[in-house]
Amino acid sequence: MEHKHIYDAQGKQLCCTQTEKIYTKAGTGELVKEHSKNDGHNHNEHSDEEGHGHSSDNDSTFKMFFPSVISFALLLIAIAFDNYFPQTWFTGWVRIIWYVAAYAPVGFPVVKEAIVAISKGEIFSEFLLMSIATIGAFTIGEYPEAVAVMLFYAVGEVFQTLAVKRAKSNIKSLLDQRPDEVTILQNNEAKVVKAESVNIGDVIQLKPGEKLGLDGELLSENASFNTAALTGESKPDTKEKGETVLAGMINLNTVAQVKVTTAYTDSKLSKILELVQNATAQKAPTELFIRKFAKIYTPIVVLLAILITVLPYFFVENYVFSQWLYRALVFLVISCPCALVISIPLGYFGGIGAASKNGILFKGSNFLDIIANIQNVVMDKTGTMTEGVFKVQEVVLKPEFNKDEILQMVNALESQSTHPVATAIHNFVGKIDNNIVLQNVEEISGHGLKAEVNGKELLVGNFKLMDKFSIKYDIDPTTIVYTLIAVSYDKKFVGYLTIADSIKEDAQETIDKLKTLGVKTTMLSGDKSTVVKFVANKLGIANAFGDLLPEDKVNKVKEIIGKNETVAFVGDGVNDAPVVALSNVGIAMGGLGSDATIETADVVIQDDKPSKIPMAINIGKQTKKIVWQNIASAFVVKGIVLILGAGGLATMWEAVFADVGVALLAILNAVSIQRMKF
């Protein structure tokens, strides 16, 4: 990548827009699209096209610095001739041409970009400011300072580009997790084919150390996988026959066979890459403000510089044009808003990258801002704070009913549902009896399932379902802690099954950390109140409500928001879609289990660990802190030096520090978030 390409990536905005374009292009924009189409190019080819191939990284960096090295060498020689080793020939036009030669490698690309920006209607760009300041310095004979200002500016821009590359590296690494080629079995023969050409139903053979290219179902008895690309967790995950395995997982031990269940472009990893690609489209309010500010601020600064040059003529007795022009030029150099417009989006890139590295995906930098101010985390119970792996504990049926017959009917009906309770019943009862014919199957939201068997009504669900259909029962559900599945057949109460779930191992840690952050916690669940209260009390969650329908959850969240509290709702992102839409931030657990989750939530926690909730809040807080530190430091330093420059107390050297120096300090601060441990 040549140095000038850093600047003309977009051409219409200041630093932040150009940086964003670089990020989108070289990081996840075009690369993602190319991978989605899969035109047959391998990763190395893509890398080489962008100048980021592993073998050419050093060459690319050297090329970026090369113009600055040439300029620096010529400048040092010129300063030596001027001050330490005077030469009789180093005067007049020879001296001017020498300094122009020193200026050219770093100055001409910027002047060119200023012209391009003007041709596109963006007159007041940072390129124009630097061009006016340095060319103006040449006109008044300040050759060394003119070259030095542009040289330091160019070096600063290279460092900014390297910082952007570093900031996006955690996200960009996802691109390497999806192989372009896979080995499939055809007529018991292994054949290497392009991943996008694989059909649903094909069988992939995966050797130890290989990455899976498409989502599928494990056909082998068992296999261990490294899921770090998807979850941020390097701990091996052992899958059993019939379980789902996902693109990007790395096979660790034995040769495994996987039956493809999802097209290449619809794989989980493709969804994640698309999410990351679009993450920067959602801008944080701070970032949007700085953009608008820069558009207004820059022309005002140019006008002030003109006034600094002209106005003193009417008020100063001994007016010297070159003196006041110099002050105006210093003022222009100082005024470049580069530190603001580069470091702020870079700070958000860093936050998104740090979250991605830890298996947390933000759909936009605006959600980093919002989550930093969350006051109340409202969470679902099942699958969020509990494992969501239910087991039947007890079966209590009235003696007049045949236990095996009833359980087979219940198993057949529950097979129509994907709810974890249905899985628990299936695991308990076993194989489904195909002789049972279900008719008019209906799922009643928040209640359960209804069907007809042998012309008689079968109801399986909670006791609200029994009440809804006026089924009389002789037990008090509130006296039983476990989740209850009530059954009625032919308008008669048959009995119930008790089902228990286990609390996730990091659930307690999650609640403790949220309390440390000063965040309130509330549990809302459709499960029975006794179970919800039991789990809440065990974890130390102050507010817990059970037996809630989807609309009841909405009303509870409305109540909390009505107290002027910002709310994050944590759930599956599908069943709880109304609450996710209502809350300030929707956080989805089970990013690996549901495509719809990725579509609906604002934040996706890929490994289902609730401990990632306080981690996400921490990342948001640190990102916001860094962004505001950069804003404050840039305004304070530039404000001081601007005043000094207008008063003639600051030279071009102070101006360089105020512009490039502050920008570099802000960039170093912005990328520091990626080295933090959360």
Most confident range, picked from 18-22, 350-354, 434-438, 640-644? 434-438
pLDDT at residue 465 greater than cutoff 80 = yes
State which H helix or E strand residue 448 sits in: strand 448-453
- The answer to whether 531 and 518 have CB atoms below 8 angstroms apart is no
Alpha helices in 279-419 (DSSP H): 285-310, 312-315, 321-335, 338-357, 365-372, 403-414
pLDDT value for 610: 92
Residues in CB range of 534: below 8 A, 6 or more apart:
481
Q: Quote the CA–CA distance of 608 and 589 in Å, as a whole number.
A: 5
Angle between helices 285-310 and 15-22 (to 10 degrees): 140
Dump pLDDT digits (tens) for 296-312. 877 888 888 889 899 99
State which H helix or E strand residue 520 sits in: strand 520-524
pLDDT value for 500: 82
**Chain Cα centroid distance, residue 183:** 32
Q: Max alpha carbon distance in the chain (Å)? A: 119
CA neighbor of 394 nearest in space, from 483, 488, 504: 483
For residue 532, which amino acid is it?
V
- Buried b / exposed e across 232-257, counting CB within 10 Å, b at 16+? beeeebebeeeeebbbbbbbeeeebb
Query: Pick the residue with more confidence: 16 or 505?
Result: 505
pLDDT at residue 276 greater than cutoff 70 = no
pLDDT at residue 21 greater than cutoff 70 = no
pLDDT value for 7: 30
Q: Does the global pTM surpass 0.75?
A: no
Q: Quote the CA–CA distance of 586 and 623 in Å, as a whole number.
A: 19
CA distances from 328 to 147, 218, 297, 662 (A): 17, 70, 16, 20
Would you call 524 helix, strand, or coil by DSSP?
Answer: strand
**Where is average pLDDT lowest: 18-22, 207-211, 296-300?**
18-22
pLDDT value for 50: 38
**Chain Cα centroid distance, residue 240:** 31
Q: Quote the CA–CA distance of 26 and 49 in Å, as a whole number.
A: 9
Report which DSSP code applies to 137.
H
Mean pLDDT, rounded, for 88-111: 93
pLDDT value for 33: 31
Q: Quote the CA–CA distance of 279 and 363 in Å, as a whole number.
A: 5
- The answer to whether 369 and 286 have CB atoms below 8 angstroms apart is yes
**Chain Cα centroid distance, residue 324:** 48
**Chain Cα centroid distance, residue 542:** 31
pLDDT value for 280: 52
Q: Quote the CA–CA distance of 220 and 211 in Å, as a whole number.
A: 16
How does residue 457 score in pLDDT terms, banded at 50, 70 and 90?
very high
Query: Pick the residue with more confidence: 195 or 49?
Result: 195
**Where is average pLDDT lowest: 16-20, 279-283, 287-291, 428-432?**
16-20
CA distances from 525 to 359, 380, 388, 576, 578 (A): 25, 5, 13, 10, 14
**E-only strand ranges, 151-260:** 181-186, 189-194, 203-206, 216-218, 222-226, 237-240, 244-245, 250-251, 256-260
Q: Quote the CA–CA distance of 415 and 425 in Å, as a whole number.
A: 9
Domains in the chain with CATH codes:
3-173+277-352+620-675 (no CATH), 179-266 (2.70.150.10), 360-385+504-606 (3.40.50.1000), 391-500 (3.40.1110.10)
pLDDT value for 31: 29
pLDDT value for 290: 65
CA distances from 94 to 79, 90, 98, 135, 473 (A): 14, 6, 6, 18, 105
Which residue among 215, 380, 576, 659 is the active-site one?
380
Q: Quote the CA–CA distance of 445 and 466 in Å, as a whole number.
A: 14
Alpha helices in 478-594 (DSSP H): 507-516, 529-539, 550-562, 577-582
**Where is average pLDDT lowest: 50-54, 208-212, 501-505?**
50-54
Q: Quote the CA–CA distance of 584 and 603 in Å, as a whole number.
A: 11
How does residue 270 score in pLDDT terms, banded at 50, 70 and 90?
low
Query: Pick the residue with more confidence: 594 or 473?
Result: 473
CA neighbor of 445 nearest in space, from 423, 461, 424: 461
Dump pLDDT digits (tens) for 593-640. 455 556 667 888 877 889 999 999 999 999 999 989 988 888 888 788
State which H helix or E strand residue 32 sits in: helix 30-37
Q: Name residue, tokens 């140019």.
A: 302
CA neighbor of 614 nearest in space, from 474, 516, 522: 516
Whether 380 is a known active-site residue: answer yes
Token digits of residue 471: 């089924």
Q: Quote the CA–CA distance of 364 and 603 in Å, as a whole number.
A: 9
**Where is average pLDDT lowest: 8-17, 145-154, 180-189, 661-670?**
8-17
Q: Cα-atom radius of gyration of the chain, to the nearest Å?
A: 32
Dump pLDDT digits (tens) for 521-570. 999 988 778 888 989 999 999 899 988 877 888 899 999 998 989 999 99
Dump pLDDT digits (tens) for 165-184. 665 555 555 445 567 788 99
Q: Quote the CA–CA distance of 576 and 383 in Å, as a whole number.
A: 12
